[in-house]
Amino acid sequence: MELLKLKGVTKEYKNHRVLDDVNLVIEEGDMVGVIGQSGSGKTTLLNIMAGFLEPTEGEVTYYSKIDQADKNLHKNFHKIKKHMGFAPQHNSFYHKLTVAENLLHFGKLYGIPHPTLIANIKSLLAFMRLEDDKHKLAEQLSGGMQKRLDISCSMVHKPKILILDEPTSDLDPILQKDVLALLQQVNKQGVTVILASHHLESIDNICNKIAIIHKGKVSVQGLVDDVKKPYLSDHFTITLHSGVDKDRLLARLKGVPILKIEEQGKTLVVYPSQVDKAVAALLQIIKEENLQMNDMDLRKPSLSEVFEKIAAQDDVPIVPK
Amino acid sequence: MESIWLLTKKNLQLLLRSRSSALVLIFAPLLLILVLALTYNSQGNYNVNIGVYTPVFSAETDSIIGALQAQNYTVVKYNESIDTCVADIKAGFSHACLSIPVSLVLEDNTQKEIVIYVDPSRQQLVYALEDVLKSTVRGRSSEISEGVSTAILAKLKTIQDNIAARKAELVAIKGKTSTATTNAQSAKTGLQGIDLTPTGGTYNQSVIDATILQLNSTKTILSLAVLQLNNSNISAADKLVLDSYLLNTSVAIDAASGMILGGNGTTITALLGQVQTDLGAANAKLGAAQSGVSASSTSLDSTSSSLQESITSLDALSTNLDAVVKVITDQKVTDPKVISAPLTTRVENVSPKATYLSYLFPGILILVVMFGSLLLGTTLVMIEKNSPAFVRNFFVPIPKFMFVLATYLTNLILIVSQIVIILIIASVFLPEQVATFPLIALVLFLTASIFTFLGMIVGYIFASEETAVLGSISVGTLFLTVSGVILPIEAISRGVQEIMFYNPFVVSERIIRQVFLFGSGFGDVVLDLAILAGYMLVLFFLILLLETLLHRHLVERFMRGHHKGGGPHKASVGKSEF
């Protein structure tokens, strides 16, 4: 079910176009990573989706189960905001309140009945591993615990959509993994998660969808593998056990869709015209000739590489897949 | 040296590029000075309302009113009762009252008293005002004194003229009297010249007696003869008898004749001659006397005439003197003390004498509440605005005004705590005022609310806590400056003063003063309370409006302020971040 849809969303600040005709679809249960360069418009996009900002042009809609129709998010924000959780870049809680007090405060503001709220908080504290620190002042928590508290505050009312802007910034790699793992668990509980993060490797690992923003436009969006597909490497390598094996392999390459082969010692750098067929044919030759292969690197591109390539294309828009 | 300039330049750039800082640090003092200049750009005299009460307004009272108006004071006339004027002092509409007697005309040796009613709690004004009013009354007193003196001098001049005019008459009277004196002297001399000494000696009247006796005897004889003749038929005997009688008559006559013609001067003839001589002498004397008397008579006539004229002149003089006496008697004011100071003043305080603390208490109370509320209001809003949790509140499904109310309530709790402490302390020093505390607490509640809302508005407008606090202090200072606590509000130009009359600080302080010093009740201050309540509501709705208008902007600004601008830079892609 398409939960959120951005249709031709444009945002301008004093003649400066931050977002330009952004179209994006978020489906229920998705875990979407939004990545982009500094100033590309990630935070603006998240703020628009969170209802903070209204687009200059275009609209954001959400699917209303009650009305069985798409509704304008900003015009009906008062109806939907209780279903949204938002964690901005900075921690958004009261530093002079304890963990439990913060959760209780925000939970009560959402009008959750007390027994339900207490139950929610208990499970949340356990889920976020904050039980032992529930009576500590928020300012006394470590960076990772503060981030967990912040996410907890965003989830105390059990939102359907959780939007997080750079949830792992300022955290060390271990805490980053910790937080992202928690978010993955949140998503598994049925919450649609949208997050912007620098930690592209983690997004690569935990998000099922990504949207890459470049110069205010969503350059690419979709399933992670689909996004990566056009950016698979134009070559792969095969390292054989000996030079004899290498020569035997080279001798049987007729008919294999290969444009060019470079020899680097016992390693062959293969530039195929058709990757699938070339790989299959080479593996077949190795099997038939009983050759010994030390390694084969298909060079599946990382998200960083994909992003780098998109960024390198500069002003050339990429058609969303 | 270069580095100092570099750092200074950087500081200036940072300050000026922060709009709110620039506004507060550069334009706020200028604005404050501009406001103060506009506010206090008035001439020397205070814009003071002086009530003048007199049962009947006359030229005399108008002269005092004119004198006050000439000094640019606004005069409010009262003719119903001095109490109305005093009530207006208590209410702050008037600053002083003059109670002037029906007439300032001096009728006797009693000074006229003008009572000056002042509010001793208005420390900055009361003494100056007393001086002004006393001086004005003294001025009028001097005028009246001058008038009385002039009148007295005019009367003296009239008397002098009268006397001068009568002097000629007196000279004439003197001349006439002198003439009369001369005439009288002359008459006296004339009369003294009349010889009234007896001209003859002693006349021997025995001759006359004897003659008379003889003649009587003769008469008797003759009577007998006649009788005889009548009774007789003329016989001889009768004739003899008759002859005898007649003879005797003849003898008697002869004797009488002898007596008359005797030669030794003892006769009647002699006597008569002597008498005649004497009569002649007497006649001569009488003639002389007649002349003398005639002359004297003329002199006396002249004297009489002169005296008559003198009498007429003296009558006229007497009339004039009567007029002079009347002029003098008509001058009722004769006491030098009254003439020199016909008007006296007496100062009456409209509130009971109290300590300086009592007088200062209303201002101090409002001052504390104002700054406390302003700063707390601002600080609480800034705390909320700058709180990391500010964004999260955007999502909570409660109306925005709840946040406003919560901030207000928080502030109110703190201010109420302060007020309670202040009132407890006040009850120690001013135990007699404890009964007024409930009403004062109500006023302070309204005042705290107003200034809390103002502080909150400042908090919503400014970006940083420091500039907001500075802004809040500036607002408070502005209110304080035009409140009359430091500088008399009456020194403010008239137009601004009329506006400042509704300054919430002034209104609150006015109510507290009325309640605290004059014992006014709720009914007396209900109008001012309504003004405060009105301010409170207007500011509350203004905050709601401001909050509604600014909330999204505040959230955006907050997000910009907390946005770390993170993202994979092109140059860093593939390096440590990834």
Complex-level ipTM: 0.72
Q: Inform me whether the C-beta atom of residue B575 falls under 8 Å from chain A C-beta atoms.
A: no
Look at residue B176 in the predicted model and tell me its pLDDT.
82
Distance CA A174, CA A178 (A): 6
Contacts of B573 in chain A (CB under 8 A): 304, 307-308, 311
Q: Do A92 and B396 touch (CB under 8 A)?
A: no
Q: Do A92 and B390 touch (CB under 8 A)?
A: yes
Contacts of A153 in chain B (CB under 8 A): 389, 392
Reduce the secondary structure of B512-551 to three states and give it as a string.
HHHHHHHCCCHHHHHHHHHHHHHHHHHHHHHHHHHHHHHH
Domain annotation covers residue B16: no
Q: Do B556 and A52 touch (CB under 8 A)?
A: yes
Distances (CA, A) of A154 to A151, B51, B143, B305, B558: 5, 68, 86, 139, 18
Q: Inform me whether the C-beta atom of residue B387 falls under 8 Å from chain A C-beta atoms.
A: yes
Domain annotation covers residue A136: yes
CA atoms within 13 A on the CB side of B265: 6
Q: Inform me whether the C-beta atom of residue A93 falls under 8 Å from chain B C-beta atoms.
A: yes
On whether both B231 and B91 belong to a single domain, the answer is no
* Number of neighbouring beta carbons within 10 Å of residue B8: 10
pLDDT band at A319 (very low <50, low <70, confident <90, very high): very low
- Identify the closest residue of chain A to B564 by CA–CA distance: A89
**Which one of B392, B567, B574 has the shortest CB-CB distance to A92?**
B392
pLDDT exceeds cutoff 60 at A315: no
Residues 86-145 of B with CB under 8 A from A: none
Domain annotation covers residue A306: no
Tens digits of per-residue pLDDT, A75-94?
888 888 888 888 888 888 88
3-state helix, strand, coil in chain B (%, to 5): 75, 5, 20
On whether both A220 and A275 belong to a single domain, the answer is no
Q: Inform me whether the C-beta atom of residue B560 falls under 8 Å from chain A C-beta atoms.
A: no
**Enclosing H/E stretch for A294:** strand A293-297
Q: Inform me whether the C-beta atom of residue A267 falls under 8 Å from chain B C-beta atoms.
A: no
On whether both B97 and B188 belong to a single domain, the answer is yes
CA distance B409 to chain A (A): 17
Look at residue A6 in the predicted model and tell me its pLDDT.
92
pLDDT along chain B (578 residues), means of 10: 73 66 66 69 68 86 84 84 86 84 83 86 74 83 87 86 82 83 82 74 72 77 76 74 75 72 64 80 82 81 82 84 84 86 85 73 86 89 81 81 84 84 82 83 90 90 81 85 73 73 88 83 87 93 83 68 48 27
Total number of domains in chain B: 3
Contacts of B578 in chain A (CB under 8 A): 200-201, 302, 304
Contacts of B394 in chain A (CB under 8 A): 51-52, 81, 86
CA distance A53 to chain B (A): 7
Domain annotation covers residue A198: yes
The length of chain B is 578
The phi and psi torsions of A191 (rounded to 5 degrees) equal: -85, 130
Contacts of A302 in chain B (CB under 8 A): 578
On whether both A135 and A258 belong to a single domain, the answer is no
The phi and psi torsions of A276 (rounded to 5 degrees) equal: -60, -50
Where is the domain boundary, A195, A230, A265? A230
On whether both A29 and A76 belong to a single domain, the answer is yes
On whether both B508 and B381 belong to a single domain, the answer is yes
Total number of domains in chain A: 2
CA atoms within 13 A on the CB side of B570: 11
Counted across chains A and B, CB pairs separated by less than 8 A come out at 105
Q: Inform me whether the C-beta atom of residue B561 falls under 8 Å from chain A C-beta atoms.
A: no
Residue matched to tokens 């800082």:
B21
3-state secondary structure of B36: helix
**Which one of B555, B569, B574 has the shortest CB-CB distance to A38?**
B569
pLDDT exceeds cutoff 80 at A289: yes
A contact test, residue of B383, B554, B559 with most A CBs within 10 A = B559
Domain annotation covers residue A280: yes
On whether both B527 and B551 belong to a single domain, the answer is yes
The structure tokens listed for A215 are 């110069």
Single pTM value for the model: 0.65
Domain annotation covers residue B99: yes
Q: What is the residue range of B385's domain?
A: 354-562
**Which one of A81, A88, A154 has the shortest CB-CB distance to B397?**
A81
Q: Inform me whether the C-beta atom of residue A62 falls under 8 Å from chain B C-beta atoms.
A: no
pLDDT band at A161 (very low <50, low <70, confident <90, very high): very high
The structure tokens listed for A291 are 């050759």
- Identify the closest residue of chain B to A36 by CA–CA distance: B567
On whether both B134 and B268 belong to a single domain, the answer is no
Domain annotation covers residue A285: yes
Burial of B324-353, coded b for 16+ CB within 10 Å and e otherwise, reads beeeeeeeebeeeebbebbbebeeebbbee
Nearest to A13 by CA among A59, A49, A44, A51: A44
Contacts of B551 in chain A (CB under 8 A): none
The structure tokens listed for B563 are 């946005």
R_g over Cα of chain A: 24
Distance CA B462, CA B312 (A): 104
Nearest to B352 by CA among B516, B518, B512, B510: B518
The phi and psi torsions of B396 (rounded to 5 degrees) equal: -70, 135
Residue pair A299/A266 in contact (Cβ under 8 Å)? The answer is no
Contacts of A53 in chain B (CB under 8 A): 556
Contacts of A90 in chain B (CB under 8 A): 388, 562, 564
Q: What is the residue range of A288's domain?
A: 233-297
On whether both A31 and A119 belong to a single domain, the answer is yes
Q: Inform me whether the C-beta atom of residue A86 falls under 8 Å from chain B C-beta atoms.
A: yes
On whether both A89 and A32 belong to a single domain, the answer is yes
Domain annotation covers residue A320: no
Distance CA A73, CA A71 (A): 6
CATH code, A210? 3.40.50.300
On whether both A134 and A172 belong to a single domain, the answer is yes
